[in-house]
Amino acid sequence: MAKPLSLFEARAAVLAAARPAGGSQAVPLGAAHGRHLATAIAADGPWPATDRSAMDGFALALGSADSVPGQSLPVIGRSLAGHPFAGALPAGQAIEIMTGAVVPPGASIVVPVEQTSGFGGRQVTIQAELRRGANIRRAGSEVQAGAVVLPAGRRIGAAEIGVLAVLGHVQVPCVPRLRVAIVATGDEVVPVEQVPLPHQVRESNSWALAAQVVECGAEPLRLGVAADEVGSLRALLGRGLADCDVLVTIGGISKGTHDLVHGTLAELGVAVQFHGIDLKPGKPTFFGLAEIAGRRRYVFGLPGNPASSFTVFDLLVAPLLRALAGADPGRLQARAPAAGAPWSVNSRLQAVPARLVAGADGALVAELVRQQPSGDPFGLAGADVYALVRGQQEGQPGAWLELAGRSGGVLLP
């Protein structure tokens, strides 16, 4: 095994290899959540489309003047959301108006009702001074017609669904969903529903990785568990390379006599890019490329321990999936003081699961989980970020640590 790359070098190598396939497919709005936009979405008109009231109160026609306390104006009508006042508001007059309703031409100020004599009269008396234009959301003040509101590559979350609905996108142009094959390995691995014998473990890693794939907007394909023999392994790896954009294997990539994955991948035409990273957990990680049927395939060999496979997926595989979907891998430029259990010195960079919580002074701190071996999956639950504890650095409470985000946040150089 060659000299391990630093985590930052490995991440750069993975992203340098990314070749987004492009393409677009129309997806119904109700099915677009979690997908990536294939093209930018622009506003088809100004927003708001007309001048709108920001308050319940009275719209006044005072021309270029400000409102004056004690000033009274006749009330000649009202403007409600969905029922605008007809025509322009004559000078020196007022109408009742509700939040979100159209401000008619001629109106120059909206006065909140609590700063007036109240609704229901034929006249309204102003009880506060307000400058011209107060409490009016001008047409186009938030978004101009033709402005890009969602860039290409954006992952579609709940807020983006709302924006698409506002703009009338019943069909959404989405990047074709990437397919990620997941192959677990090992004679000791048994299905989740089976009670393992003392020498066995339940096959949990592929379930966790499949969920991570979904969180990245891609489609997981769990191909099952390959036994520690070449025939079974070769069949599943070959299927993953043929059917999917990315192949992720779990276990079998170290130096043991039954670690057959990297050798079998080489026989299937996968060219190694690196094998080994200077990270705890995750040192044996493999990354390779293959050209099959005119398309590039990306191959990761992840360690078999739960914390290792999960962590390396977040730090290396997730950024690649984002890049292949045309999205920016992200920029999480963050540091925070450590809190919680201290972590001991190690010669390698350590990616420690952490939770962002409020410290004693109210400022955010990174609460490190308890020290755990890489075979322990429980400390990952509830973690928001990874705290990066540099080689020969102690993760003591109060020490400032760099943070890496979950599911593809960018690492600090």
For all residues of the chain together, what is the average pLDDT?
91
List the domain range (segments joined by +) for residue 367: 335-405
- Judge if 169 and 189 occupy the same domain: no
The answer to whether 314 and 279 have CB atoms below 8 angstroms apart is no
Task: Classify residue 125: in a domain, yes or no.
Answer: yes
**CA–CA dist 8, 22 (Å, integer):** 26
pLDDT over threshold 70, residue 255: no
- Judge if 401 and 316 occupy the same domain: no
Q: How confident is the model at residue 413 (pLDDT cuts 50, 70, 90)?
A: very low
Q: What is the CATH number of the domain that holds 53?
A: 2.170.190.11
**Hey, which of 90-104, 303-317, 357-371 has the most confident mean pLDDT?**
90-104
Largest CA distance in the chain: 92
Stated as kind and residue range, the H or E segment containing 404 is: strand 400-405
pLDDT over threshold 90, residue 121: yes
- Judge if 318 and 186 occupy the same domain: yes
Summarised one tens digit per residue, pLDDT across range 190-215 is 888 888 888 888 888 999 999 999 99
Q: What is the CATH number of the domain that holds 228?
A: 3.40.980.10
Interval 246-274 mean pLDDT:
87
Percent of the chain with pLDDT over 70: 95
**CA–CA dist 408, 411 (Å, integer):** 9
- Judge if 307 and 344 occupy the same domain: no
pLDDT over threshold 80, residue 6: yes
State the sign of the Cα–Cα–Cα–Cα dihedral 337, 339, 345, 346: negative
pLDDT over threshold 70, residue 278: yes
Cα 6 to chain centroid distance, Å, stands at 25
- Judge if 372 and 348 occupy the same domain: yes
- Judge if 155 and 181 occupy the same domain: no
Interval 30-57 mean pLDDT:
96
Q: Which residues pair with 298 in a beta bridge?
A: 246, 289
Pick the closest to residue 79 from 91, 96, 92 (CA basis).
96
Interval 337-366 mean pLDDT:
87
- Judge if 35 and 170 occupy the same domain: yes
Q: What is the CATH number of the domain that holds 165?
A: 3.90.105.10
- Judge if 286 and 228 occupy the same domain: yes
* pLDDT recorded at residue 107: 97
pLDDT over threshold 80, residue 259: no
- For tokens 């928001």, name the residue: 384
- Judge if 218 and 295 occupy the same domain: yes
Q: Which of 291, 324, 357 is the last residue of a domain?
A: 324
- Judge if 307 and 372 occupy the same domain: no
- Judge if 312 and 260 occupy the same domain: yes
Q: Which of 275, 303, 324 is the last residue of a domain?
A: 324
Summarised one tens digit per residue, pLDDT across range 322-345 is 999 999 886 555 788 888 878 888
What are the b/e assignments for 99-137, b being 16+ CB within 10 Å?
ebbbbbebbbbbbbbebbeeeeeeebebbeebeeebbbb
- Give the predicted TM-score (pTM) of the model: 0.87
- Judge if 13 and 38 occupy the same domain: no
Stated as kind and residue range, the H or E segment containing 296 is: strand 295-302
Question: Total structural domains in the chain?
Answer: 4
For residue 403, the number of C-alpha atoms closer than 13 Å in the C-beta half-sphere is 25
